[in-house]
Structure 1
């Protein structure tokens, strides 16, 4: 693309030298530059990659050290209101003993399955208290007892951690860790022991460690014996009992464990224990009924035998065979009323038994909520059962003094009081019925008193016998029914699906964790890159220079390793990126100012590369058949003579200090035709005054008259102001910045030179650009 600007100069801030870039914005404006963002990410891509690999590596380490967790589940069908074999016997005895119905609440059953007491019963069949661990390759994995080549037979030492490090087939190192139960201080024991020997530490532990198989090399084993209660509480956290569908009476029992076989065995055992407990509860209710009936039968049987004997003896002694028709009718009616009256007495005894159960939490579950067919009483008893179970769950986590426990205790006491009041009300109703029946009994008894004495006595005896006989028959009937019911008791609930041994762990989720780690690494890497860029005070890219610079970019110089050792020989390679970069700068300067030939090269601080750039720029002009001289005005720290390998014992500082007119003495030829160098000379105490002296005017005139191009290597403007006059007189002022070295704040100095010091014809040379960046900008100036 040819240059399309003409009759312009480097002092115009809107000139772009063929880049096609828009005018540089003021430094105070901040805009979101997507191009700069992507360039920043591209420059720091290895940072992002490194952080991402670190996060993925951390996730991999986590997955390596974390034991996989497996989940297994079993499903149960729970019948909400199950009828017993005596459901047809709609009488108070069956109802009072809880044989008619055992109402079931799904939430209550779920709480029972998850309760600590139920888990403890399952632990009697599945061993979770003796735990074995294998440690190999920095991994700690729990194993089943039969998988361990070491067996621990322990008598004392609960909660202690035993570490066994085998030395050979006979000996091992034993480490024991524990806490003092009184002080809570941690203690540790380490000693050498032999397999099969009894190991005793008085007051701490007593055990025997047996070797039962081959022990892999570099492998340790750990053992713990945990209390049942602690184990049950720990397992409770991994046990989940849910209702998959709220409309169905289905319960799902799920458990998570690091050993899949043990997890499945525990779930199946737990549901079996639950079903057996339900059967046991119903059996206990039937046993209570039989016990009550047997006690009544014993008493009634005795009374029946006595009344029968008395009746037979009276008949024999008095030669009375039977009663008159009227007496028989009256006796029958009286007998019926007295039977009802005696049944009410039985009901009262049952109510007293229920009241006694009410204040015993362990017996409350055996109370039927259908007692005396009272819905209100049934609802209150059901609610009481729920509160008692909830209190038991709270006590697993909190002390009795916890506010939640205190609150539920208040609710329980209030509900017990309400139930007791309701039972008293029912009892009063029974007493009222008894009073009515007593009146009828008195009326029929008065009628029988009008009978003759012998017949009246016979009525009394026969009446007593018939009452006892009916009660005895009634109790025999109930005992037979209850015995049948007990023998046919089965679980109302059933297992739909047993727990299977899971094959795939539910956590940790490897793919998800690695994906999240990768995404997190990328995000964290990008964040760190922009944080680094934000905290970095140095310029790092051409794009950043382009955004910050108040003057146009003339060219960019690529990084050449070991340049200081190579001197100016690098440009002898005509196709090198280094040579092409200086050709670009020369072409831009010549196109813009073909007749202007005084160029200064400066920087803000030392080390930015101004001397290297001034010497090589002079060489490029010389190679283009331009007679060029490069003058070292950096008198404090001169380096130009080292680049061209010329002496520096006498130079421009000496000429200016002595007002010497023979300038040819300080102009040195180089190995390159048309290229001359003026060294700085002796380091003076006042370089600024020398550069402002009248004799400097003569030097200026001589050089511009005898050379086509004059390049002044001036001191850094950020450190001293020696060369401001030289900069003001020069045709073109090149300011050098170096990537990853020059600070962003240096552009304020550059802007100050342009705006406040009146320095014109300024252009920026960016040094230290990587080749990939350099090509993008360098060729763009002239291609």
Structure 2
């Protein structure tokens, strides 16, 4: 087996405080299907061979003991009739609609009522199938037979067509056409009966409606005649036409009067504004006033004064007293002229105002009279129109009743015509069921490979199920998920080492070229990388259960570390079943750790040196487990740190011995040895969590003795490694040399 890569371990060297819990989420354990298939290839081949045998036996047994013959009856959806007079119905073209209709008809064909009537047919007595449902008295059990048919009969729609089919299978080929044809014919008979019943129900509704319409039409005609006679409708019509013309004339006169009144009101408002000074007199008003005789005389006098003034200016000059006196007289005359003009304009405006006011009053009286006459005439005309409208409404109602009666009569005629047509039933038989000529089960092209595949898949499923349910730690990938990715390395089994060492103990020294020795060297390299300056050299080697190989691993790790020139000490803290002294070949009866902890010996006096130069402290005599949880134990650890570079502690199994966790709190680093194919995942997960929560740094786990995959890359790498480490052969001379 190849060594584990050195980067498989976390390089974190941050020291942990005492009893500080650390909960790092672990990765889920996954199953490698390729690895399982390579491991179980022999079992898989056996399952494949067993599948071949089983498929053959199953085919032969089914052919003679349980043959099945299948058949079908094909039906067609008829085009729907839009009108009873149509020669051909309109076919439904939407695939979804056709499929839905076909499924509906197929489900109706296998309804219990249809099947009960079908199996009650005398033709069913000709089948072998009906004998399966005879009771003790020889009577046919209809209910049980129908229950089975509901489960057995299937249907299907042929996409892109109007066809659908019913499928059924039986052990006797002659039973298939009898039963399927009987069911289809029974269904068609019930469809015809149902169609006739619906036609009769619908026709009865229309006939009843037709009778009601006839009665209403007769009543409407009588009411129209009475209304015409009682209301003298013909004279009303003539009078209504004359009154309508008079009403239009009144409307015209009212419009003219309203327009005149509006004009008069506007003129009156303008005159009133001129009188009150809000509006100046117009030029027409001034010209009219200037035509007044008094004003004309005054203007002639002013003209005479003006001529006299011009004559005097020419004779005496502008500054002569007579000229100045004449100018004053002329100015006074002009002022008098303006005053007279204003009085005449006001006098004329007052006269116009009175005239306009009188005209406005007359127009208002006229408009009131015209409006009153119009209202009287309008009400009379409306009364006449209402009577005529009532008459028209009565005639319209009568026309609608007669039109509705015509539609009802036409519908009844179409119902009779549609009922007489064969295609009024939505389904027809396109092809009756025939006697099957070939067996449908077992069909060898399907049964043989299918049975083989089922057996083979069952075998594969059982293999993977066992792997899934197996809670043991088996591979390094599984351990990586449990140990937070911290794996120092993997120790293969002795039998998997291609160099065939004689034993595992001290294999680093006795078989340095072996795969085991190389793996131990890789693990010791990873371990030394993990032990930085701020982490001491006291390392606790822990296991979950007994016989995990802790002592053997310590012997090889200590040997590997010793080779690189480190001072190494091994202490046996397993007071329950010590084995370090025997492994390293030192005295088991000599004083040891328990004696130092009890105060009966000194630390330096209990150290023994093994044959490989590794110092060892055995468990000692009088091994009381409680001594491991004393302050003296901490002092021993301190003395070991001072005197040795690396100290390994062999501990009792942590899964059954509580003192192992106590020791974990005294060391600087901890390693968990996991025995492959034995230790449970849950236990390893718990121990990893406990070791990670102690003072000592959890540097990783070692997987011991996993099962290897035959022909895998582990074995190939191992062969290459053995070949590379072997003694080189003599060099072959180059071509052309002597």
Instruction: Give the TM-score band, short-chain normalised.
Output: 0.3 to 0.5
TM-score (norm 2): 0.44
Q: Which has the higher contact order (CA 8 A, sep 6+)?
A: 2
The structure with more strand, counted as a fraction of residues: 1
The structure with more helix, counted as a fraction of residues: 2
TM-score (norm 1): 0.42
